[in-house]
C-alpha cells in the first residue's frame, strides 16, 4: 500500500513539473515588445487617438489621414515659368489628393504665352525618414486654357493632358520645404519642369 502511495505522489510531482516547464517555454516564446505596441496599436496610432479624444498636443504626424495643407510652388521649364497654389488632404495614411491652380507664362520664340491650369493629382509617400524627410510620387490630370497666338491649337483654346512627377519634402515644424521634378503631356507634347516651394500643414 505504501509503495502505491509513493508511486501516485511521484506521478503527481512529475506531471506538475512538466506542466510548469511547458508554461515557462510558452512564456519565453511569446514576449510582446511593450515599448512598440499595445494590443495591436503602435505609438503613432495611440498618440493620434489621444490628440483626438483628449485634445493633447502630441507629436504632429504630417502624412496621416485627415491632415490638410496649402502649398505655393515655382516651376521652371525650358521656355516658360509656372507658379502654383495647391490644397492637399490625406484620405489615408501616406495617400492624398491635391487640387492645384497654376499660371504659366513666357516668351517662346519671341511670342508671348500664358496658360491657366487646373490639376487634380493623387500623391503617395513611398519613403519616410524619421517623419521629417519624404519622397512623394504623384500623378494626375490637367485642364489648361492656352493663350498663344503663334499656334492654332494653343490660341485661346482649352486643352487636356496628364502630368506626373516626384516631390521631395523636408519638414520643419508645420512647414515643409519642397523640391520637385514634373513631366507634363498636353496635346501629346511632353515638357519637363523643375521647381521648389513651401507647404503649410494644418
pLDDT, tens only, 21-31: 544 555 554 45
Pairing of strands 95-106, 155-172: unpaired
68-201: CATH, from 1.10.4160.10, 3.20.20.140, 3.10.580.10, 2.40.160.20: 2.40.160.20
Domain ranges of the chain: 2-54, 68-201
Pairing of strands 80-92, 68-76: antiparallel
pLDDT, tens only, 107-123: 999 999 999 999 999 99
pLDDT, tens only, 71-81: 999 999 999 99
pLDDT at 195: 96
State the CB neighbour count (10 A cutoff) for residue 149.
11
Q: State the residue for C-alpha cell 496649402.
A: 70
pLDDT, tens only, 142-171: 999 999 988 888 889 999 999 999 999 999
The pTM of this model reads: 0.68
Provide the β-strand partners of residue 191: 184
Torsions phi, psi of 145, nearest 5? -100, 110
Report the alpha-carbon distance of residue 185 to residue 162 in Å, rounded: 5
Amino acid at each position: 500500500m505504501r509503495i502505491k502511495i509513493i508511486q501516485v505522489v511521484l506521478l503527481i510531482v512529475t506531471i506538475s513539473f512538466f506542466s510548469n516547464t511547458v508554461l515557462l517555454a510558452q512564456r519565453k516564446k511569446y514576449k510582446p515588445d511593450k515599448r512598440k505596441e499595445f494590443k495591436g496599436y503602435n505609438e503613432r496610432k495611440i498618440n493620434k487617438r489621444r490628440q483626438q479624444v483628449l485634445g493633447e498636443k502630441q507629436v504632429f504626424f504630417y502624412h496621416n489621414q485627415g491632415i490638410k495643407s496649402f502649398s505655393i510652388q515655382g516651376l521652371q521649364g525650358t521656355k516658360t515659368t509656372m507658379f502654383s497654389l495647391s490644397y492637399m488632404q490625406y484620405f489615408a495614411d501616406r495617400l492624398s489628393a491635391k487640387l492645384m491652380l497654376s499660371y504659366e507664362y513666357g516668351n517662346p520664340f519671341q511670342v508671348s504665352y500664358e496658360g491657366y491650369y487646373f490639376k487634380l493629382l493623387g500623391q503617395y509617400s513611398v519613403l519616410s525618414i524619421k517623419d521629417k524627410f519624404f519622397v512623394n510620387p504623384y500623378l494626375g490630370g490637367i485642364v489648361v486654357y492656352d493663350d498663344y497666338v503663334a499656334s492654332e491649337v494653343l490660341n485661346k483654346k482649352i486643352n487636356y493632358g496628364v502630368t506626373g512627377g516626384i516631390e521631395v519634402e523636408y519638414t520643419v515644424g508645420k512647414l515643409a520645404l519642397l523640391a520637385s521634378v514634373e513631366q507634363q503631356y498636353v496635346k501629346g507634347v511632353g515638357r519637363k519642369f523643375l521647381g521648389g516651394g513651401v507647404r503649410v500643414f494644418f
